[in-house]
Structure 1
Amino acid sequence: MEEEVPCYFVCPISLHLMRDPVTLPTGITYDRDGIERWLLTAGTCPLTKQPVPPDCDPTPNHTLRRLIQSWCAAEGVVRRVATPPKPPIGDDRSRVASLVSRIGANNNFTSTELLAALRELRDVASESERSKKLVAAVPRAVDTLVGVFIIASSATASAAVCCDEVLEIISSLELSEKCLARVIEANEALSRSLVGALVSALQRSNAASRAHAALLLRSVTAVMSTNSLASLPEQLFGEVVQLIRDKQVSSRAVTKAALHVIVGTAPWGRNRVKAVDAGAVAALVDMLLDGPERRACELALGALDRLCVCAEGRAELVAHGAGVAAVGGKALRVSDVATDKAVRVLRSVARHAATAAVLQEMAQTGVVGTLCVVAQSEEQYGERTRERARETLRRHARAWRSTPCLHHHLQAMYP
């Protein structure tokens, strides 16, 4: 039977036998790995809730460590303990702070010294999750990297290598929305400059940088102010549409990021019209025809729903040879969310773009029958979705109720 571990040998965070016990200024001892991860995000003692200074280096508890080793040796569980302790987090923090200082002080974006510092910082961030959090937590690190990326993106073409390196570092940190918001909220002009730099990165041929820029663009637009969102450049939507169309270069994650950008930015200013002018509606319809996976299909329909709020978006949808059919074909077949989004798009078309030709197309392509099924499916779809379907059917009942395209069992379901 396994010997019970003494409670004072157990880390309060992991509840496992401590490998490298260290003590905080609060007097509480934890395993080094657990408390360092905790302090990178929380900044307080887990048990006492007292604040811990950002530059605090937990003190190694050598006495407790020797006691644990002795106990493990006596109980025959020596292998549980320990590996040599990790370098103190303070040493790593000093190293990162030094690299950030070198990067921020160097204005020559083609110098070997700057590239060397960037690559060293990139290597540090790629070591582990702990290292990523450490880089992001060092004061002014993210601000410095963003500033260098913005300035380098507007410099000469020879600075592209520097841009790519900085963008890779920023993307690897997987910054939280809270961190990004802190960086860009203090300066509205900074958010516009950052968007411009990301657009420049999307316009380059480097596939890896385009992917990093797309993922970062999604995160940045999610925390931008409404004023900044309302003034997004037209080039942004052109590049986003290109990401949706470029199946050979864009991964699923990149495509979804592009879809999120359209969904998140469309309501503000003239962004709907900008996206439509960039060819977003045709790209989204073509994407639906290619049979995307469930989440991408839901996002594409959500984007079409946002774009069809404006007359330009509806006109593009009905002008596409398969626009209405592609939207109606995803209802009932993908998910409840996709069905709801498809019904919303069809209602917008029926309300504001219902020419005789469009009504005939909706009947011939099975859209009317789909709406009948949704309207009667009380257990599967929400009341709002069913009501939108019923509203659409009632609006054009005279044209659809007696159409020969509607099977007799669907005519019986007609509201």
Structure 2
Amino acid sequence: MSLLLSRRAAAKEDAPDVPPEFRCPITLDMMRDPVVGATGITYDRAAIEAWLLVRCTCPVSHGELRADDLISNHTLRRLIQAWCTANRSRGVERVPTPRANATPAHAADAVAEVESAASAGNAERCATAARAVRRLAKEAGRTRRCLASAGAARALAKAFTSFSDAAAASNVLEDVLAALVLVMPMDEEAIAVVGSSSASVAWLITAAANGDPRRRLQAVVVLREIVTCACNGGGAGVIDLSANVVAVVEVVVRTIRGSMCPQATKACLVAAYHLARADDGTATLLVAAGLVSVLIELLVDANRSTAETALAALDAALASSDGRARVRADALAVPVLVKKMFRVSDTATELVVSSLWRICRKCLDDDEDGTTAAARRLPVLEALQVGALQKLVLLLQVGCREETKEKATELLRLMVRYQARGECIDTMDFRGLKRRDNAILIR
């Protein structure tokens, strides 16, 4: 084994320099699938397609360039492969020949087969057709665009709904779901097709709760789309989650708590945000399921993207009296929020201020649920003790949006009022601050 490793290391050290004409102008790496556009410049397909997602110009000439205009440079690819073969003894691996992209006609035929099989009620045939669409969707971006133009998402959504009532259709639903996720984003019509079927939503909930990790991720991604559409008035008003809302809330909170994978956590955080904003009843269900505690614990070590979404979901949940009561009783909440004020992003800072504002001020419905002045005073004193006053002053000095400025100013007035009652500590050292279970410390 050591001899083999030493030979590989020697071959790597002896590897020849890649000729400049074989390198992609964007990545500067050797091209694996060279393509040329109308501007005459050759790029690696993956690099230029990623570039054209946000721009419509050639990176080198700055001329107009579209992804549909890219043509494979077969001559250059063969030269690269020949060079790799000639230098194989020096540790260079041969570039494989890429698979040809599907044509629009090929994509349309694959989508039509899904529609035909679903209409005929043939589960086995539909599963085979869905797998074919999935294989196409795994290819380059042009193939995915062809599938999108052919209406793949709508066809798969209709197929999913047509088999969701069948007790023995689990296999075809899994194949259709796997293909559906790959042809995202779903348009509003496709989301409405799945979301309007209680049976389809119930199957997704079951898969999200009990499936294998890959299936759970696919299910929560589709649930996120349904929840987002429904809570924002989309889906032509045909999406009604009332029959499944309790189960949706439970699976969303459970997935966030379980930390299955970053993608699933992010999808459920987005769903939780929209559910919390939908109405007070749904926000109460989220709080009862433990969303507030889960979000606070998630924020301790969350990365930037996760922290922003978690803060947005928390701020939405705090619009309800139950959410505010729960977070006021959480000893970890205020210290974590203050700690995150300037450590993530400007968006996160605004969300932190909004959350603290909701926690500390007196809201119209606080007295209705028995909230006392002492319960509201406690988070103000906690915020003072962990340095919130200094941070709010700094925020007003550096500037922020007008809405955030008003909330920060109101928080400062509250803190100045209670400042004499609590010792103001200008430090972010939380090593001695314990979690609610008095066992886990913030590091």
**Alignment TM-score > 0.5, same fold:** yes
Deviation sequence 1:42-94 (CA, Å, 0-9, x none): xxxxx9xxxxxxxxxx9x9xxxxxxx99xx9xxx99959xx999587255235
The one of 125, 129, 132 aligned to 2:144: 132
The reply to whether residue 116 of structure 1 matches residue 128 of structure 2 is yes
Cross-structure match for 1:245: 257
* Aligned mates of 2:78, 2:216 — CA distance in 1: 50
Please say if residues 381 and 415 of structure 2, whose CA atoms lie closer than 8 Å, have aligned partners that are also in contact.
Answer: no
The reply to whether residue 206 of structure 1 matches residue 243 of structure 2 is no
1:198 shift after superposition: 2.8
* Aligned mates of 1:114, 1:146 — CA distance in 2: 12
1:379 shift after superposition: 4.4
TM-score (norm 1): 0.69
The one of 337, 354, 369 aligned to 1:327: 337
> Where in structure 2 are the equivalents of 1:209-224 lying within 5 Å?
209-224=215-230
Q: For residues 284 and 377 of structure 1, do their structure 2 counterparts lie closer, same or farther at Cα, with a shift above 3 Å needed?
A: closer
Q: Which sections of structure 1, spanning at least 5 residues, go unmatched?
A: 1-9, 19-33, 39-46, 48-57, 61-67, 410-415
Cross-structure match for 1:100: 114
1:192 shift after superposition: 6.2
- Secondary structure of the 1:105 match is helix
Cross-structure match for 2:391: 373
Cross-structure match for 2:14: none
Please say if residues 325 and 362 of structure 1, whose CA atoms lie closer than 8 Å, have aligned partners that are also in contact.
Answer: no
Deviation sequence 1:228-250 (CA, Å, 0-9, x none): 47847121111110110012xx2
> Where in structure 2 are the equivalents of 1:2-401 lying within 5 Å?
13=38, 15-16=40-41, 79=79, 89=103, 91-93=105-107, 95-109=109-123, 111=124, 113-139=125-151, 141-156=152-167, 158-175=168-185, 179-184=186-191, 190=196, 195-224=201-230, 225-226=232-233, 228=239, 231=242, 233-247=245-259, 250-269=260-279, 270-289=281-300, 291-352=301-362, 355-364=373-382, 366=384, 369-384=387-402, 385-395=404-414, 397-398=416-417, 400-401=418-419
Deviation sequence 1:164-184 (CA, Å, 0-9, x none): 111110111122xxx511334
Cross-structure match for 2:423: 405
- Secondary structure of the 1:266 match is helix
Cross-structure match for 2:20: none
Q: For residues 368 and 390 of structure 1, do their structure 2 counterparts lie closer, same or farther at Cα, with a shift above 3 Å needed?
A: farther
Cross-structure match for 1:51: none
* Aligned mates of 2:101, 2:295 — CA distance in 1: 51
- Secondary structure of the 1:401 match is helix
1:220 shift after superposition: 3.5
Please say if residues 195 and 226 of structure 2, whose CA atoms lie closer than 8 Å, have aligned partners that are also in contact.
Answer: no
* Aligned mates of 1:387, 1:200 — CA distance in 2: 44
Number of matched residues? 348
Letter in 1 for 2:145: K
- Secondary structure of the 1:267 match is helix
Please say if residues 347 and 389 of structure 1, whose CA atoms lie closer than 8 Å, have aligned partners that are also in contact.
Answer: yes
Deviation sequence 1:243-267 (CA, Å, 0-9, x none): 10012xx211211111111223322
* Aligned mates of 1:77, 1:138 — CA distance in 2: 30
Please say if residues 281 and 316 of structure 1, whose CA atoms lie closer than 8 Å, have aligned partners that are also in contact.
Answer: yes
1:196 shift after superposition: 4.1
Q: For residues 214 and 370 of structure 1, do their structure 2 counterparts lie closer, same or farther at Cα, with a shift above 3 Å needed?
A: same
1:358 shift after superposition: 4.7
Q: For residues 381 and 255 of structure 1, do their structure 2 counterparts lie closer, same or farther at Cα, with a shift above 3 Å needed?
A: farther
Please say if residues 335 and 386 of structure 2, whose CA atoms lie closer than 8 Å, have aligned partners that are also in contact.
Answer: no
* Aligned mates of 1:101, 1:230 — CA distance in 2: 26
Please say if residues 353 and 408 of structure 2, whose CA atoms lie closer than 8 Å, have aligned partners that are also in contact.
Answer: yes
Letter in 2 for 1:296: T
* Aligned mates of 2:101, 2:218 — CA distance in 1: 31
Letter in 2 for 1:236: V
Which has the higher mean CA deviation after the structures are superposed, 381-390 or 361-370? 361-370
Please say if residues 311 and 348 of structure 2, whose CA atoms lie closer than 8 Å, have aligned partners that are also in contact.
Answer: yes
Cross-structure match for 2:24: none
* Aligned mates of 2:308, 2:78 — CA distance in 1: 53
Deviation sequence 1:10-56 (CA, Å, 0-9, x none): 976454489xxxxxxxxxxxxxxx9xxx9xxxxxxxx9xxxxxxxxx
Please say if residues 180 and 223 of structure 1, whose CA atoms lie closer than 8 Å, have aligned partners that are also in contact.
Answer: no
Cross-structure match for 2:438: none
1:401 shift after superposition: 2.4
* Aligned mates of 2:421, 2:77 — CA distance in 1: 80
* Aligned mates of 1:153, 1:272 — CA distance in 2: 29
> How large is the Cα RMSD of the aligned pairs?
4.3
Identity score, percent: 23
* Aligned mates of 2:77, 2:188 — CA distance in 1: 48
Please say if residues 368 and 393 of structure 1, whose CA atoms lie closer than 8 Å, have aligned partners that are also in contact.
Answer: no
Q: For residues 299 and 392 of structure 1, do their structure 2 counterparts lie closer, same or farther at Cα, with a shift above 3 Å needed?
A: same
Please say if residues 350 and 392 of structure 1, whose CA atoms lie closer than 8 Å, have aligned partners that are also in contact.
Answer: yes
* Aligned mates of 1:88, 1:200 — CA distance in 2: 34
Deviation sequence 1:145-196 (CA, Å, 0-9, x none): 112222433331x422222111110111122xxx5113346x6973766544
TM-score (norm 2): 0.65
Please say if residues 205 and 251 of structure 2, whose CA atoms lie closer than 8 Å, have aligned partners that are also in contact.
Answer: yes
Letter in 2 for 1:287: L
